[in-house]
Amino acid sequence: MTSRRRHLLVAALACAMAGVGTDGHAADPLPSWNEGAAKQSIVAFVGKVTQEGAPGFVPPAERIATFDNDGTLWAEQPMYFQLLFALDRVKALAPQHPEWNTKEPFASLLKGDVKGSLAGGERALAEIMMATHTGMTTEEFEKVVKDWVADAKHPETGRPFTGMVYQPMLELLAYLRANGFKTFIVSGGGVEFMRPWTEKVYGVPPEQVIGSSGKLKYELRDGRPVLVKLPELNFFDDKEGKPVGIQQHIGRRPLAAFGNSDGDLQMLQWTAAGSGPRLCLYVHHDDAAREWAYDRRSPVGRLDKGLDEARDRGWTVVSMKDDWKLIHPDGKR
Amino acid sequence: MTSRRRHLLVAALACAMAGVGTDGHAADPLPSWNEGAAKQSIVAFVGKVTQEGAPGFVPPAERIATFDNDGTLWAEQPMYFQLLFALDRVKALAPQHPEWNTKEPFASLLKGDVKGSLAGGERALAEIMMATHTGMTTEEFEKVVKDWVADAKHPETGRPFTGMVYQPMLELLAYLRANGFKTFIVSGGGVEFMRPWTEKVYGVPPEQVIGSSGKLKYELRDGRPVLVKLPELNFFDDKEGKPVGIQQHIGRRPLAAFGNSDGDLQMLQWTAAGSGPRLCLYVHHDDAAREWAYDRRSPVGRLDKGLDEARDRGWTVVSMKDDWKLIHPDGKR
């Protein structure tokens, strides 16, 4: 290699490491976001809190960003993916439970009638969750989740569930981390259902995942300690639960919070109430062609009060249709 | 500056950044630890898990270390410092509670009779904790703790409580972090009592502090969201609670765990049961001259079963008397 070629190579490498294009401009850290008010509000906020000496500057240790998961980082239709997991688990466990053939909500489910199975409302749902999420050790459950995530396919798109994450949000997570933020997930979903895959898929390690949880019991089995998942709710991380979960787990108010439903409203309110620059953002599912369009009347991921409050308070509302160049990493529906 | 002087300065700076003395030897990262089996076990463990390509190597993201607080990172005699805080708060709040003058456990306490006040056992203790730790917002409580920590003095040594941390453990925290570990506190103490000062004193940010907690309630007060501390226990982070707290909060088994009492035994068992190299360490309070000497029969920080199990299983037991050159950062008792 000539000295000049080597010089160019080193320069290109240095630029790549610094996120700068070889034409001298900074590379766009959010390439899947169309130019517009939403993208601008994100970049302006990050600029404000990271510029040393500026009035809005926040030291890196205090740069906390919290993300809802279902509907914010990955899809949630036609129902929460964790519920699809639970339904698959009922089928997988059925041979060990002959009594389920005549007992609701299991009997309908095993005949393929999901709607009938869930007709029993919250009680039916709780029974399905308890039967599939408890009574084993945390290690056993982790393996079940990992296996399911590796193999299972979405009933409408036929794709792996972790392929149905939102590319623009992956870029946003990485952009915030590159600017010194610690990124947390704060989800109504089960914490033990998310942790086995969030690090690989989102770059969010288990200790930065907050979610709903069941009680655990420490036991010695033949002298070996295990944690057993009990059929008793420990914490429900939704609505008013989100600021509570944030306080119990992080102990610091987020600078930025991202959600897509009324279940995230209290998290956004709590974030907005801090002093200095804050970023509150709703992802609005308005793209029926590339994803699903739903808001005020959807049973899953309803966004009604939140949409009003976002408009009243000037929070960022992202139109998936207009603000996102693509939805999923591979560009497919 | 001459070119040669500049060169020497750059070399010295580079060495300092790499923790290497200018004589070419690595600077001792644990200078307050005497050479011996305890120090050796720590250094050998860190060497094993950080050496790339070696069989015990663990990627940085999985390097989790958990530390008990009372008696492990700071002193805990003649009673837990949080209890001394609570007693001080009873005195401070008494003018707003004239009924306390005739009502136990407050009446005895206000007459200076701590022993009489606590004669009511767990119930008396719970009443004191509820009266002093609940009924205000998390922000109000944080301010109360910060003010107390800044001003209060230990009843026997007359020193600020945060001066009664253990210098060798501060070095151990820093040494583990320099080797890619995330350091967590896992304490039976209240999480909201610790978080206001652990970052400054231990370098442990609030999101890496796990402790006992009360329930919280999200409320809008004149449109402004607050979290109110309720008089109801949420989680007791001691004994069997410690592995549970670790799982709920971190979701990953520690590689190393540090404690000083039977309340830490389950955390050490849980840590030891993982695969590959693990470090389980007990601090043994055997230094009556420089600190306090207590173990099997102490009401505070009892170390009995843990001492037996540590010896049976070959865990590291640190003699404060023999293994530590000094106890507190300023060298005073």
How many other β-carbons are positioned within 10 Å of the β-carbon of residue B270?
Answer: 25
Contacts of A209 in chain B (CB under 8 A): 251
pLDDT at B19: 47
* Token pair listed for A25: 């401009």
Give me the percent of chain A exceeding a pLDDT of 70.
92
pLDDT at B4: 54
Task: Count Cβ–Cβ pairs < 8 Å, chain A vs chain B.
Answer: 86
Name residues whose C-beta falls within 8 Å of residue B197's C-beta, 6 or more positions apart in sequence: B145, B146, B149, B162
| Inter-chain touch A207–B64, beta carbons under 8 Å | yes
pLDDT at B173: 98
Separation of CA A279 from chain center: 17
d(CA B63, CA B6): 38
Query: What tens digit of pLDDT does each residue of A60-103 get?
Result: 999 999 999 999 999 999 999 999 999 999 999 999 999 999 99
DSSP character string of B259-325 = ESSGGGHHHHHHHHTSSS--EEEEEE-B-TTTS-B--TT-SSS--SHHHHHHHHHT-EEEEHHHHBS
DSSP character string of B74-90 = B---SS-HHHHHHHHHH
Residue of A234, A203, A214 lying closest to A65 (CA atoms): A203
Contacts of A266 in chain B (CB under 8 A): 218, 225
Q: What is the pLDDT along chain B (333 residues), one digit of tens a residue?
A: 455 555 544 444 444 444 454 555 678 999 999 999 999 999 999 999 999 999 999 999 999 999 999 999 999 999 999 999 999 999 999 999 999 999 999 999 999 999 999 998 989 999 999 999 999 999 999 999 999 999 999 999 999 999 999 999 999 999 999 999 999 999 999 999 999 999 999 999 999 999 999 999 999 999 999 999 999 999 999 999 999 999 999 999 999 999 999 999 999 999 999 999 999 999 999 999 999 999 999 999 999 999 999 999 999 999 999 999 999 998 876
Measured between alpha carbons, how far is residue A257 from residues A65, A192, A195, A253, A285 in Å?
6, 22, 20, 10, 17
pLDDT at A26: 73
CA distance to partner chain B, nearest, from residue A172 (Å): 21
| Inter-chain touch B213–A248, beta carbons under 8 Å | yes
Give the type of residue at B235.
F
Query: What tens digit of pLDDT does each residue of A195-239 get?
Result: 999 999 999 999 999 999 999 999 999 999 999 999 999 999 999
| Inter-chain touch B207–A247, beta carbons under 8 Å | no
| Inter-chain touch B251–A225, beta carbons under 8 Å | no
Residue A331 pLDDT class (50, 70, 90 cuts): confident
Q: How many residues are recorded in chain A?
A: 333
d(CA B241, CA A218): 8
| Inter-chain touch A206–B251, beta carbons under 8 Å | yes
pLDDT at A264: 98
pLDDT at A16: 45
Strands A224-235 and A209-221, bridge-based pairing: antiparallel
d(CA B123, CA A165): 50
| DSSP helix, strand, coil percent of chain A (3-state; round to 5) | 45, 20, 35
Residue B321 is classified by DSSP as H
d(CA A231, CA B61): 31
Dihedral of alpha carbons A162, A166, A168, A173, sign: negative
Query: What tens digit of pLDDT does each residue of A99-120 get?
Result: 999 999 999 999 999 999 999 8
Q: Is A252 in CB contact (< 8 Å) with chain B?
A: yes
Q: Which B residues in the span 256-275 are in contact with A, Cβ-Cβ below 8 Å? A: 266, 269-270, 273
Q: Full-prediction pTM beyond 0.95?
A: no
pLDDT at A12: 47
d(CA B103, CA A313): 49
Q: Is A64 in CB contact (< 8 Å) with chain B?
A: yes
Contacts of B206 in chain A (CB under 8 A): 250-252
- The least confident of A14-18, A180-184, A293-297, B296-300 is A14-18
| Inter-chain touch B251–A209, beta carbons under 8 Å | yes
| Residue in B with minimal Cα distance to A226 | B270
| Residue in A with minimal Cα distance to B225 | A270
Dihedral-angle region of residue B36 (phi above 0 means left; psi in -120 to 50 means alpha; beta otherwise): left
| Residue in A with minimal Cα distance to B142 | A251
Dihedral of alpha carbons B188, B193, B197, B203, sign: positive
H or E element: which one contains B123? helix B121-133
Q: Which residue do the tokens 């809802």 mark?
A: A68
Measured between alpha carbons, how far is residue B98 from residues B2, B90, B131 in Å?
75, 12, 13
Interface test with A, best of B136, B218, B234, B265 (most A CBs within 10 A): B218
Q: Is A171 in CB contact (< 8 Å) with chain B?
A: no
The separation between the first and the last C-alpha atoms of chain A, rounded to the nearest angstrom, is 45
For residue A9, is pLDDT > 60? Answer: no
pLDDT at B220: 96
Nearest-by-Cβ selection for A218 from B182, B191, B240: B240
pLDDT at B139: 98
